């Protein structure tokens, strides 16, 4: 082989090798991503991450609002239940008080078993919600007042025409007896007052004649007549008190059968 043939072969090999290196570099350049592509990829990943974060935050916010609403409803329900419990406790206390009253009533009724329950003591007359006692002894007005007080009552007070009619009819049945009632005045021309201090109403009846006592005038009743006298005079008297529903009187065998 000549030297020219060797040189040509070397050159041809070197050219071929150089061409292969260029092709390899070109292929490598094509396979390697560019910097702009990397930034676009990173931006896309970050965007997806941000969207995921926003979605997760929205879900958490919705859950927080739901939990807050449930807790608010629970607090309202607790307040309502507390108010209902307080109302029930009040009703229970009221029922217990009513039950106690009923128990006392039952006890009182039990004491009337085999008895006749009467509202007024013996020798007293009942009219409406009051009992009336027409005395059979003479006393001054002050003594009559003390006697009525000893009987847990007071001298008669007349507040209505109906009550006045009842008293007058009852007094007429006792012949011509004269009875002190609880109306008086401290001095001549002074106001007429009942024993409890209330004022007398002239619409009920007319006092026919006033005595000339300088100290105390008192009113008496005789049948349908009403007049005044000096309080130191002696007369019968009329006491009154409120009906007592628990007083009892033993009933005879014949009454019970």
Say what the pLDDT of residue 54 is.
80
Question: Considering only 105-114, 146-155, 214-223, which range has the smallest mean pLDDT?
Answer: 105-114
Range(s) of the domain holding residue 165:
125-244
Residues 133 and 179 in one domain: yes
Q: Which of 117, 150, 173 is the last residue of a domain?
A: 117
Give the pLDDT score at 12.
56
223: pLDDT confidence band, cut at 50, 70 and 90? confident
Whether 20 is in a domain gets the answer no
User: For residue range 199-216, what is the model confidence (pLDDT) as tens digits?
Assistant: 998 889 887 665 555 566
- Please report the pLDDT score of residue 73 as a whole number: 84
Give the tokens for residue 187. Answer: 């001095």
pLDDT of amino acid 193: 92
Residue 7 has pLDDT above 60, yes or no: no
pLDDT digits (tens, 9 = 90+) for 129-167: 999 999 999 999 999 999 999 999 999 999 999 999 999
Whether 132 and 222 share a structural domain: yes
Q: Are residues 182 and 235 in the same domain?
A: yes
Do residue 138 and residue 217 come from a single domain?
yes
Among 117, 139, 159, which residue terminates a domain? Answer: 117
For the stretch 19-73, pLDDT in tens is: 655 655 555 545 555 666 677 777 777 777 777 778 888 888 888 898 888 888 8
Per-residue confidence (pLDDT) for residue 68, from 0 to 100: 83
pLDDT at 91: 82
- Lowest-confidence region among 94-98, 176-180, 210-214: 210-214
**Can you give the CATH number for the domain in which 178 is found?**
3.10.100.10
The stretch 163-183 carries a mean pLDDT of 91
**pLDDT at residue 77 tops 50:** yes
131 & 228 share domain: yes
Give the model's pLDDT for residue 64: 84
Q: Is the pLDDT of residue 219 over 90?
A: yes
The band of 252, judged by pLDDT with boundaries at 50, 70 and 90, is very low
Q: 22 lies in a domain? A: no
Share of the chain above pLDDT 70, in %: 68
Residues 73 and 180 in one domain: no
pLDDT at position 245 is 61
Q: Are residues 131 and 99 in the same domain?
A: no
> Does 63 share its domain with 151?
no
**154 and 113 assigned to the same domain:** no
**pLDDT tens digits, 228-240:** 999 999 999 999 9
Mean pLDDT of 71-85: 85
Q: Are 73 and 133 contained in the same domain?
A: no
Q: What is the pLDDT of residue 103?
A: 52
Last residue in a domain, options 117, 141, 162: 117
Domain count, the chain: 2
Q: Evaluate if residue 250 carries a pLDDT over 70.
A: no
Please check whether residue 15 lies inside any domain of the structure.
no
The rounded mean pLDDT for the chain is: 77
């Amino acid at each position: 082989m000549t030297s020219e043939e060797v040189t040509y072969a070397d050159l041809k090999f070197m050219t071929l090798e150089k061409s292969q290196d260029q092709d390899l570099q070109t292929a490598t350049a094509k396979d390697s991503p560019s910097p702009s592509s990397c930034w676009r990829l990173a931006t896309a990943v970050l965007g997806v991450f941000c969207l995921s974060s926003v979605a997760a935050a929205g879900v958490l916010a919705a859950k927080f609002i739901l939990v807050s609403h449930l807790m608010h409803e629970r607090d309202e329900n607790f307040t309502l239940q507390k108010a209902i419990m307080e109302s029930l406790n009040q009703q229970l206390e009221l029922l217990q008080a009513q039950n106690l009253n009923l128990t006392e009533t039952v006890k009182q009724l039990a004491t009337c078993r085999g008895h006749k329950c009467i509202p007024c003591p013996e020798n007293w007359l009942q009219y409406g919600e009051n009992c009336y006692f027409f005395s059979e002894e003479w006393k001054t007005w002050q003594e009559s007042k003390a006697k009525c007080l000893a009987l847990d009552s007071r001298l008669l007070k007349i507040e209505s025409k109906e009550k006045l009619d009842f008293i007058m009819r009852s007094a007429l049945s006792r012949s011509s007896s004269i009875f002190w009632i609880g109306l008086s005045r401290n001095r001549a021309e002074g106001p007429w007052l009942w024993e409890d201090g209330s004022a007398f109403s002239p619409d009920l009846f007319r006092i026919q004649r006033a005595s000339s006592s300088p100290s105390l005038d008192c009113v008496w009743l005789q049948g349908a007549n009403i007049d005044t006298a000096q309080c130191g005079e002696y007369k019968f008297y009329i006491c009154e008190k409120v009906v007592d529903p628990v007083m009892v009187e033993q009933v005879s065998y014949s009454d019970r059968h």
